[in-house]
Structure 1
Amino acid sequence: MDNGTSQLSQFLSFTLSNVEEIEEKFFNHNRSLDLINLYKKYKSKIGTYEVKNMKKLWDLVARDISNMHKVTIASSKCENRFKVLDRNYKKFVDKNAKTGRGRTNFEFEKEFEEIYGGKSNVHPQVLLSSETEVVLHLDEENTHEVENDPQAPSETLADGSRNAENRPILTAKRRRTKVVTSTYKKRNEILTDMKNDLKTYYSEKIHIDREKLELDKEKHKEKVKRTELLKEHLEQLKIFNMNRQ
């Protein structure tokens, strides 16, 4: 690593450390707890019309925290703080998994256990394909089942023997295909729901606009009618005054 790269790395590390320190001062225990609970609330709605993506999720979280604590906070600040808490929780889980003694504590252990569903493996396994990237959370039990799958195909070597070590890899490939297919299906379902929501929204909007247009027409007719009556009244008043003279 050259000197310029080293200095850049040190600068980025220093900047990240300062950002985390500032956010930690802002996010006390109560605000951090609200942040986690709001994340759980909106995370379950990802893909719906209300929460289309993660950007929308953090916008909603920032809005709610700003309203709850009478402050103005950016969505990026909420996202960064949650990532820090998430990273600390994973370090906490890893440390306790490696050492059976001297168990450490994490302030929001219960809340993050609910987020990860009590899984012992909180680090996602990334499955890649040319079309998409799918992230799976596999616990130790599921991983063990994959490694010992008796039906998993094995590779035949040159001497005619079977290479059992390749079975988890081949099984992972099958699982990857299945997960990608499931992801496409879920994505299509989400897109279909979004299209239906938009269709319903615009149908209702058209109906409301038509009602408004009809109401405006009625108001215009009423205005024209009043104008005609006023003209008639003025004309009669004019004739009356002329007769008096």
Structure 2
Amino acid sequence: MPDVTKENFYNRWRVVERNYKKYIDNQNSTARGRKYFEYVEEMKNIFGGKRSVHPEIILSNEQIEQLNPKQINNLENGNSTANTSGKSDSKGSISVATKTRHPTRKRESNLELVRDDRKQYYSEKPIIGREKLVELQRKNYLIKGRNTILKENNCKCCSDHSKISVFEFIFLFITHFVKRI
């Protein structure tokens, strides 16, 4: 039997543990390319519900809490602190403590801001629409005035404007008014 030192043993254990964690992560992430781990049952028995291997699913970082030694002693004695809320099992002992930082209050304030923004947007939308309409009417009025001036001056472009391009129209318009100035 080869000589196995304590360091070799610990190193091999860390490698097996790391590979098991990779296996668990792979099983949770995808159905494709699944990995095979030969000591699955043994590692399940060893690690069980250990959080370093099977972490809780947390949707936000506000629920993460580091317990200080005072809180741990209080939990062991059955007392809970004011800033933690515990979930109890059927025996009545506190099993998990999570810190509440009023996430619903923050969510409600964010929703209220979104509601206010939408209310402001929809209250300003008809005003902006009316302003656009006034500008379009003003533009049409100016175009009609321009057309009547061009017809009065017997401009070439007004006689048959459907056969000329926009660029030709602009050129004729500019040359017609440049001569007058």
Give the alignment's TM-score, normalised by structure 1. Answer: 0.29
Q: Whose helix proportion is higher, 1 or 2? A: 1
Structure with larger RCO (C-alpha < 8 A, sep 6+): 1
Q: Which has the larger radius of gyration?
A: 2
